[in-house]
Amino acid sequence: GIQVEQSPPDLILQEGANSTLRCNFSDSVNNLQWFHQNPWGQLINLFYIPSGTKQNGRLSATTVATERYSLLYISSSQTTDSGVYFCAVRTGFQKLVFGTGTRLLVSP
Amino acid sequence: KAGVTQTPRYLIKTRGQQVTLSCSPISGHRSVSWYQQTPGQGLQFLFEYFSETQRNKGNFPGRFSGRQFSNSRSEMNVSTLELGDSALYLCASSLGPGTGELFFGEGSRLTVL
């Protein structure tokens, strides 16, 4: 099945810093989503981005489908950005496969 | 509009018991999928339902089962609970199977003692 790798596994930032999270996948996909898991466990949708670039406030994402990777950019990070960020992909009508996540800690 | 609703949010069971979890999808969404999250295994796919039919199944034992009703609401059942079944169970809904954006509920946190 499709493999999804995320890097880095852990990231510690000072408030105000910028960061880039990466997601590599092993096959072509028709669905790629980025999620932020809050402390209570809920997966919050950040982007649905099987290809191209999108922006939402301080967050933006780019997926280069032909090269099988996606990037999530967080600018001017805030303590509320802390948590785990997941990339998830789907190919065809198959299941959504999650990466192992990037754990982000933003300190004041 | 209302999001994906999962009940119960928290529950504690003992080994050998069974548990039923419920998921109500976003209005108009007809596909429901279930995921198990544990610290050791991460987020693992359990199954997906569309039009009351199971469309996909993950690699879980037969103790894990599910169903979907005509109103798209879904339930999953775990029988003969084991300690390793302690996990966060997440439900997601989407417009159709294998397509479009998935939206997740807040999860049901199961502890097996």
Using an 8 Å CB-CB cutoff, list chain B residues near A94. 56, 98
Q: How far is B74 from B89, CA to CA, in rounded Å?
A: 13
The per-residue pLDDT for B98 is 73
Q: What is the mean pLDDT of chain A?
A: 95
Rounded mean pLDDT, A68-85: 97
If one compares A34 and B96, the residue with the highest pLDDT of the two is: A34
Q: How far is B47 from B58, CA to CA, in rounded Å?
A: 6
Are B48 and A92 inside 8 Å of each other by CB? no
Chain B closest-CA separation from residue A108 CA (Å): 27
Are A101 and B42 inside 8 Å of each other by CB? yes
Is the Cα dihedral B24, B2, B35, B8 positive or negative?
A: negative
Rounded mean pLDDT, B36-62: 93
**Reported confidence tier of residue A14, pLDDT bands at 50, 70, 90:** very high
Q: How far is B64 from B79, CA to CA, in rounded Å?
A: 7
**Reported confidence tier of residue B1, pLDDT bands at 50, 70, 90:** low
Are B98 and A90 inside 8 Å of each other by CB? yes
For B77-92, the pLDDT digits (tens) are 999 999 999 999 999 9
The answer, yes or no, to whether residue A34 has pLDDT greater than 90, is yes
Contact (CB, 8 A) for B73 and B22: yes
Helix (H, G, I), strand (E, B) or coil at A82: coil
B96 lies within 8 A of chain A by CB: no
Rounded mean pLDDT, A73-88: 96
Using an 8 Å CB-CB cutoff, list chain A residues near B48. 95
The per-residue pLDDT for A1 is 86
The per-residue pLDDT for B39 is 86
Rounded mean pLDDT, A51-64: 98
Q: How many CB atoms lie within 10 A of CB A3?
A: 11
Q: If you count them, how many residues does chain B have?
A: 113
The answer, yes or no, to whether residue B6 has pLDDT greater than 90, is yes
**Alpha carbon B47 to chain centroid, angstroms:** 8
Rounded mean pLDDT, A89-99: 87
Are B98 and A93 inside 8 Å of each other by CB? yes
Kindly state the tokens that stand for A74.
Answer: 């967080």
